[in-house]
Amino acid sequence: MLSQVYRCGFQPFNQHLLPWVQCTAVSRSHRIQPSVIRHVRSWSNIPFITVPLSRAHGKSFAHRSELKHAKRIVVKLGSAVVTRGDECGLALGRLASIVEQVSVLQNQGREMMLVTSGAVAFGKQRLRHEILLSQSVRQALHSGQNQLKEMAIPVLEARACAAAGQSGLMALYEAMFTQYSICAAQILVTNLDFHDEQKRQNLNGTLHELLRMNIVPIVNTNDAVVPPAEPNSDLQGVISVKDNDSLAARLAVEMKTDLLIVLSDVEGLFDSPPGSDDAKLIDIFYPGDQQSVTFGTKSRVGMGGMEAKVKAALWALQGGTSVVIANGTHPKVSGHVITDIVEGKKVGTFFSEVKPAGPTVEQQGEMARSGGRMLATLEPEQRAEIIHHLADLLTDQRDEILLANKKDLEEAEGRLAAPLLKRLSLSTSKLNSLAIGLRQIAASSQDSVGRVLRRTRIAKNLELEQVTVPIGVLLVIFESRPDCLPQVAALAIASGNGLLLKGGKEAVHSNRILHLLTQEALSIHGVKEAVQLVNTREEVEDLCRLDKMIDLIIPRGSSQLVRDIQKAAKGIPVMGHSEGICHMYVDSEASVDKVTRLVRDSKCEYPAACNALETLLIHRDLLRTPLFDQIIDMLRVEQVKIHAGPKFASYLTFSPSEVKSLRTEYGDLELCIEVVDNVQDAIDHIHKYGSSHTDVIVTENENTAEFFLQHVDSACVFWNASTRFSDGYRFGLGAEVGISTSRIHARGPVGLEGLLTTKWLLRGKDHVVSDFSEHGSLKYLHENLPVPQRNTN
């Protein structure tokens, strides 16, 4: 017979199509029609996403991001995934996690099928137990002693193990799927079932009927009767079912499946055997790339190796099914590997028939690394010349830049809020300011790389130097800010760093031309590849996982973007700030003339900026004074919406809307006003509700101002100056890559200095540590030596 359905929760509708169905009742309180998408219960910690699932089969997906549209999915579980490390018994924790993920996807309205191994391992466990039990009974009867001799376990034949394990394996799946109110059915097949047309039709009909009834088919080769695989037995255009890899591929094509997920005990395909020093995971595999792969040995269990998986995957791809090969055994990822693949995350190796026009992001990372190292070896004058040339190009090619920017603005109209549109917009004055800033960077870069910070004579003829060097490769992610690209590029060039840029899609035209001009400037000294613009469909979360290629991530954008990147970054430092909750404290001795100017500039000049004022702290003695009235009148004229803090609201009979949170970054013409008792109360409020970005005191009392400057623990603390001065250009840094509120490495507006680190250079003459031992011939001197003066011209 072709197959046997071990169990299902419904009687078959068509007995002709399901002649081998054997059903048993399953305890369920209700039946759910296949057309109804069920809600995921509270048991799942995997995010539930309802997506449109409609796609005409016939062509595989070209990009990972399209996998979320997959309707019909086959998940193949390799022997190494299903079995324990001792090859005797099942990995129950992994199986439970896989069943949960399959259940989540099934409840999203997808049609899930499993191709599973494990019957032999489960049967081996049962038979070993039976043999040990029978041997122990016989020995006890014959010897009459309690102490048993060491028992030898005979070699167990695989077919017998499969026969003993099939029922137990399916019973386990049944118990697990029942926990999620999902019905499962078992189908056993052999290669002969695919060669007989009638049996193929019966199998096809059985599977379609099960999927129509919202049942998860669990398919396996009938290892109890399957003959040994014959070499080179594939028919022309048809793959023979020799193992579960070929079975999954054959099944996926027969059923016109959208996606085949092959889980094994390796992360995917590597360009050399996994575990070797130079092995690199292949993100996307294309037909014809077999020459770039060196296949290793098979897994510890199972019939097929990676070569068999690739062959099956390519055959399925040719049949219109997308394929991903990934690791299903890693404890950190196995709990969400299937759902991550369906969500389009960069997991395992994705098989695609569509090659991208440009390099992959991994290749771009390597180009940025090698280009950055070449950049760092240039003379300071050469790096400065590149930046000067880029500044000239910004003004010379002004018309082309503004034309591209106009295209972005037209496409963004109606989709972006007004503050974001303002950030997206470029103008002649902005380009002129950019050019001036770039020339400042060029002037300050003369002795940035290789500058000696410290010299020490360790001993005679043994001298130590600490010198500045580039960090390595920077990843800068920015939103709606095309002017950010030349600024960051110039800082990277000046500091000798390689650079990966990921801009928002709303500025795609502006970013493209600005990047081309940057590469044109770099070309004058042959380092064009040092700055790369990522144009692929790479998700930010995937970029944040490239810890072997990226040394520092700098996000430029909304607080939500920064938080998302900080959460996604795995092993890569992130420089930035998640919020810009800037405060201004108006002291009782503040000047009437200064206060309104400072508040207006800080809040109204550019309310979307991260250095805009968000909370105004008023000394309580100023309430109901002309100064306070002037502040309120100015804010009303500027159409600023006022939110009252709890203390401020208590002073008023009719107050504005009370603030929902004192820790709010509005990014618009909105402002929180709160009352404080004195300067110490203001400092305490800032430390409790601020974000350590920029905070200001307005007062004429120098002692109060100095107390505020010394005690407020923020990156930027000002006296009688607008919060908007917190900016790299205004600080004279030429430009900034961002503002950092962290306490390590760089803080505040980060310019050229913040993109450098150090290394130590030790020059000796046959020095060894043993010479400095108690009985050695040398003594440590540790003398500080003069450091070469920095060129400030």
pLDDT digits (tens, 9 = 90+) for 442-454: 988 888 899 999 9
Confidence of residue 734 (pLDDT cuts 50, 70, 90): confident
Looking at residue 39, its pLDDT comes to 38
Element (DSSP H or E) covering residue 740: strand 738-740
Q: Are residues 529 and 405 in the same domain?
A: yes
- Residues paired with 184 in a beta bridge: 216
Q: How far apart are CA 111 and CA 268, in angstroms?
A: 24
pLDDT tens digit string along 644-674?
999 999 888 776 788 899 999 998 899 999 9
Residue 369 reports pLDDT greater than 50: yes
Residue 209 reports pLDDT greater than 60: yes
Q: Is residue 102 one of the residues assigned to a domain?
A: yes
How many residues does the structure list for the chain? 793
Residue 40 reports pLDDT greater than 70: no
Which of 297, 331, 351 lies at the terminal end of a domain, its last residue? Answer: 351
Q: How far apart are CA 517 and CA 236, in angstroms?
A: 53
User: In this structure, what CATH number is given to the domain that contains residue 618?
Assistant: 3.40.309.10
Token readout for 93 is 């924790």
Average pLDDT over residues 314-321: 92
Q: Are residues 331 and 379 in the same domain?
A: no
Looking at residue 27, its pLDDT comes to 35
Looking at residue 237, its pLDDT comes to 41
DSSP 385-431: HHHHHHHHHHHHTHHHHHHHHHHHHHHHTTTS-HHHHHHH---HHHH
Using the structure block, give the residue that is written with the tokens 């003695």. 621
Looking at residue 332, its pLDDT comes to 73
Using the structure block, give the residue that is written with the tokens 């391992």. 121
Looking at residue 272, its pLDDT comes to 77
User: In this structure, what CATH number is given to the domain that contains residue 92?
Assistant: 3.40.1160.10
Q: Are residues 341 and 397 in the same domain?
A: no
Pairing mode of beta strands 552-556, 473-478: parallel
Looking at residue 302, its pLDDT comes to 41
Looking at residue 30, its pLDDT comes to 37
Looking at residue 151, its pLDDT comes to 53
Residue of higher predicted confidence among 165 and 337:
337
60 contacts 353 by C-beta, under 8 angstroms = yes
Whole-model pTM? 0.74
Q: Are residues 255 and 321 in the same domain?
A: yes
Residue 361 reports pLDDT greater than 90: no
Q: Smallest Cα–Cα separation from 169: which of 105, 247, 241, 91?
A: 91
Q: Are residues 545 and 632 in the same domain?
A: no
Looking at residue 749, its pLDDT comes to 87
Looking at residue 87, its pLDDT comes to 61
Pairing mode of beta strands 462-470, 216-221: unpaired
Confidence of residue 346 (pLDDT cuts 50, 70, 90): confident
Secondary structure (H, E, C), 722-743: CHHHCCCCCCCCCCCCEEECCC
pLDDT tens digit string along 413-425?
888 888 788 889 9
Confidence of residue 128 (pLDDT cuts 50, 70, 90): confident
Given CA atoms 658, 664, 666, 669 in this order, what sign does their dihedral have? positive
Confidence of residue 738 (pLDDT cuts 50, 70, 90): confident
Q: Is residue 9 one of the residues assigned to a domain?
A: no
User: In this structure, what CATH number is given to the domain that contains residue 406?
Assistant: 3.40.605.10
Q: Are residues 215 and 70 in the same domain?
A: yes
Residue 33 reports pLDDT greater than 60: no
Q: Are residues 384 and 510 in the same domain?
A: yes
Q: 420-429, 670-679, 714-723: which has the minimum mean pLDDT?
A: 420-429
Q: How far apart are CA 720 and CA 709, in angstroms?
A: 11
Residue 134 reports pLDDT greater than 80: no
Q: How far apart are CA 122 and CA 84, in angstroms?
A: 10
- Residues paired with 114 in a beta bridge: 75, 218
Mean pLDDT score of the chain = 83
Looking at residue 88, its pLDDT comes to 64
Q: Smallest Cα–Cα separation from 577: which of 546, 608, 611?
A: 611
Q: Are residues 536 and 659 in the same domain?
A: no
Residue 320 reports pLDDT greater than 70: yes
Looking at residue 154, its pLDDT comes to 63
Q: Is residue 620 one of the residues assigned to a domain?
A: yes
Q: 59-63, 158-162, 456-460: which has the minimum mean pLDDT?
A: 158-162
Q: 199-203, 219-223, 303-307, 329-333: which has the minimum mean pLDDT?
A: 303-307
Q: How far apart are CA 154 and CA 451, in angstroms?
A: 72
CB neighbour list of residue 22: distance below 8 Å, 6 or more residues apart? 4, 5, 6, 7
Q: How far apart are CA 613 and CA 112, in angstroms?
A: 53
Q: How far apart are CA 429 and CA 694, in angstroms?
A: 27
Q: Are residues 392 and 531 in the same domain?
A: yes
Average pLDDT over residues 433-440: 92
Looking at residue 205, its pLDDT comes to 93
Q: Is residue 53 one of the residues assigned to a domain?
A: no
Q: Is residue 648 one of the residues assigned to a domain?
A: yes
Q: Are residues 543 and 620 in the same domain?
A: no
Residue 26 reports pLDDT greater than 60: no
Provide the 8-state DSSP code for 221.
Answer: E
Q: Are residues 507 and 431 in the same domain?
A: yes
DSSP 66-123: GGGG--EEEEEE-HHHHB-TTSSSB-HHHHHHHHHHHHHHHHTT-EEEEEE--HHHHH
Which of 514, 537, 568 lies at the terminal end of a domain, its last residue? Answer: 568
485 contacts 500 by C-beta, under 8 angstroms = no
pLDDT tens digit string along 377-403?
999 999 999 999 999 999 999 999 999
Amino acid identity of 422? K
Q: Is residue 36 one of the residues assigned to a domain?
A: no
Residue 538 reports pLDDT greater than 60: yes
Residue 753 reports pLDDT greater than 80: yes
Average pLDDT over residues 530-539: 83
Q: Is residue 601 one of the residues assigned to a domain?
A: yes
Looking at residue 14, its pLDDT comes to 38
Q: Are residues 508 and 621 in the same domain?
A: no
Looking at the 3D structure of the chain, how many domains does it have?
A: 3
Amino acid identity of 137? V
What's the domain range around 410? Answer: 361-568
Q: Is residue 149 one of the residues assigned to a domain?
A: no
- Three-state SS for 607? coil
Q: How far apart are CA 662 and CA 687, in angstroms?
A: 12
Looking at residue 45, its pLDDT comes to 40
Residue of higher predicted confidence among 568 and 9:
568
Which of 711, 736, 761 lies at the terminal end of a domain, its last residue? Answer: 736
Residue 554: Cβ within 10 Å count: 26
Q: How far apart are CA 348 and CA 510, in angstroms?
A: 33
pLDDT tens digit string along 615-640?
999 999 999 899 999 999 999 999 99
Pairing mode of beta strands 748-750, 738-740: antiparallel
Among 17-26, 75-84, 488-497, the range with the most confident prediction by mean pLDDT is: 488-497
